[in-house]
């Protein structure tokens, strides 16, 4: 029995996961910056839109994870 917290075959996809995670963080930071800039520099006015982005990307990540787990 394996005590690893990672699923089988994780090491095969590790570089891809790291690249995708890094690009995802860069895109999210750019999206937050543009959203605040579009709201006139007022971060409080941008909060509802940022929460919408957070919900959307979380939902997208859950769907992608379920698709990958179903393929194994």
Is the pLDDT at 57 greater than 80? The verdict is yes
**How far from chain centre, in Å, is Cα 72?**
22
Of 20 and 1, more confident: 20
pTM above 0.95, yes or no: no
Residue 68 confidence (pLDDT): 76
CA distances from 67 to 2, 9, 21, 37, 62 (A): 23, 15, 17, 35, 9
Of 64 and 12, more confident: 64
Domain boundaries, the chain: 10-71
């Amino acid at each position: 029995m394996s005590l690893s917290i990672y699923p089988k075959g994780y090491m095969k996809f590790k570089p891809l996961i790291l690249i995708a995670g890094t690009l995802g963080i860069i895109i999210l930071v750019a999206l937050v910056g543009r959203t605040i800039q579009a709201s006139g520099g007022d971060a409080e006015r941008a909060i509802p839109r940022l929460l919408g982005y957070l919900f959307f990307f979380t939902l997208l990540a859950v769907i992608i994870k379920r698709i990958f787990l179903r393929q194994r």
